[in-house]
Structure 1
């Protein structure tokens, strides 16, 4: 059973103190990270589409659909 020492108010104060210690990234860093993720997702989607198309062609050839 959880200890009631301190209670929820002290817990929330501790959470607030920890959040204040957090170093948040700058807007520029966030934009660069979003752009990098978008490029990687687009490359991944393109490669997945190409491989899907190629596998489809191979399956049509093998099964003579």
Structure 2
């Protein structure tokens, strides 16, 4: 099992709108509100990818990643 310290953004959906919120999730960290689900998913994916690219590689080879 790998533990990470990343705090990823989240997508919320209600009444046909999608919101992307940074961590910690609160009304001050809303990054996007849209009716376009693709835009919300795309932004979230880019933010997570950026965070993962900046993270140091895991030092535990038992995670199975990269094998």
Larger Rg: 1
Asked which structure has the greater RCO (Cα within 8 Å, sep 6+), the reply is: 2
When you count helix as a share of all residues, which structure comes out higher? 1
When you count strand as a share of all residues, which structure comes out higher? 2
